Amino acid sequence: MSTTLTAGDDDAWADWAVAVLSTSVSRPASLRAFEWPGSFASGSRIVMLDESHRPTGSLKHETMRLVFRRLVTDGTIQRGRPVVVASAGNAAVAAAHFCRMLDLPCTVVVPAATTAAKTELIRSEHADVVPHSPPAAIYDVAQRISEHAGGFYLDHFTHAPTAATDSDWPLAHDLTEAVRTLAGTPPTVVVAGLGSGATTTGLHRYRQHHDRGYRIVGVDAENSAYLPGWLANIPGYGTGMPSRIEGLGRPVLPASFDPDSIDVIVRSPDAASIAGARHLRTLLNKPVGASSGANLWVAIRGARRATQPETIATFVADAHPHYLDTCHNDRWCDKKKLDPQALAHYFRWRDDG
């Protein structure tokens, strides 16, 4: 447990909490980035910023830090008030982490099918975990729990995109500066997965405020609502089908999604996303998530289709041993009827056009 406030009134706690949440702990971006070693006929280059070095192992960490800071600042999160989250993803881990730092009770409602390894990861941050079925109902359950406990239901699909527009949100700055350091030029294309939509929202706001000229490519998964909903321009579009790629895709287009924040959406085949994750595991010697593999697949696709040299920037979104039981596990893939081996050739180092 981190150091907590031992004396003082609620205003003092809020001041202390804001101070805690105003500190970002991470290695410099230049040390977290690397150039993918493949080559392309177009002369394009791919630079990846590795966000798995964050304290909770994913790019959700810094966004959730700013979510908590906003909610403490506006008085929504108060000393001792329980926080309830509905998610089995990295947002849940990050939320539980900041609750632990601030000594706030935390409950996380997860789908009943959530792996034991992911459940234990959330519990390791001192959160209570409530499994529930069917998965689509976890949001309503979280809302009821928060009302019964007199707590706050933290809907990260609502709060994360807003937090990503904060001037202190580091992801866009870190990515552009790391690319400039490694490639000698700013990115011309930025590739980012579509989960909550926070990352693309933040990247869009950053390019507006800083007059950046990069194009934003959103990455979607099979069965997800993002691509068809964006193409048809239908708010709240739904497929009714869950994504097989953790952290990527949604069965229903979130109300917070801004279609103007991206220039194009590309759907990565699920098997390709997993093949990319396995390729990155070999390259980086750690089990990254399949959403990172999807980012790399889309980046390579863009580099191969480019008609002029592009500097393409994207993310290693997360890495954790629990992925050894899912996307890095052949039996899990067989159960999902996915064959990543058939697409492993896509990640060869050299492309002669």
Question: Which among 103, 137, 161 is the end of a domain?
Answer: 161
Given strand 189-193, what is the order of strands in its sheet?
A: 33-35, 45-50, 311-316, 189-193, 215-220, 264-267
Q: Which of 25-34, 76-85, 108-117 has the lowest mean pLDDT?
A: 25-34
Decide if 17 is inside a domain: no
Decide if 22 is inside a domain: no
Nearest to 173 by CA among 216, 202, 213: 202
Decide if 96 is inside a domain: yes
198 and 323 belong to one structural domain = yes
Decide if 65 is inside a domain: yes
Output the pTM of the full model.
Answer: 0.93
Within a 10 A sphere around the Cβ of 135, how many other Cβ atoms? 17
Here the CATH number for the domain that contains residue 136 is 3.40.50.1100
Decide if 10 is inside a domain: no
In angstroms, the Cα distances linking 148 to 9, 84, 145, 152 are 25, 11, 5, 10
**DSSP assignment letter at 260:** G
Decide if 4 is inside a domain: no
Distance CA 127, CA 100 (A): 8
**pLDDT tier for residue 30 given thresholds of 50, 70 and 90:** confident
pLDDT tens-place string over residues 287-319: 999 999 999 999 999 999 999 999 999 999 999
121 and 188 belong to one structural domain = no
pLDDT tens-place string over residues 167-183: 889 999 999 999 999 99
101 and 245 belong to one structural domain = no
Q: Who's near 289: CB < 8 A, 6+ residues apart?
A: 58, 246, 247, 277, 317, 318, 319, 320, 323, 327
Decide if 107 is inside a domain: yes
Decide if 89 is inside a domain: yes
Residue 222 CA, chain-centre distance (Å), reads: 17
List the domain range (segments joined by +) for residue 147: 60-161
39 and 119 belong to one structural domain = no
310 and 190 belong to one structural domain = yes
With a pLDDT cut of 70, the percent of the chain lying above it is: 97
Q: Decide if pLDDT at 3 tops 50.
A: no
pLDDT at 352: 54
pLDDT at 174: 94
210 and 293 belong to one structural domain = yes
pLDDT at 6: 46
Distance CA 166, CA 74 (A): 14
pLDDT at 9: 82
How high is the mean pLDDT of the chain? 93
pLDDT at 351: 64
Q: How many domains does the structure of the chain reveal?
A: 2
77 and 40 belong to one structural domain = no
232 and 261 belong to one structural domain = yes
Q: Decide if pLDDT at 43 tops 50.
A: yes
Distance CA 176, CA 188 (A): 10
Which of 29-38, 127-136, 260-269 has maximum average pLDDT? Answer: 260-269
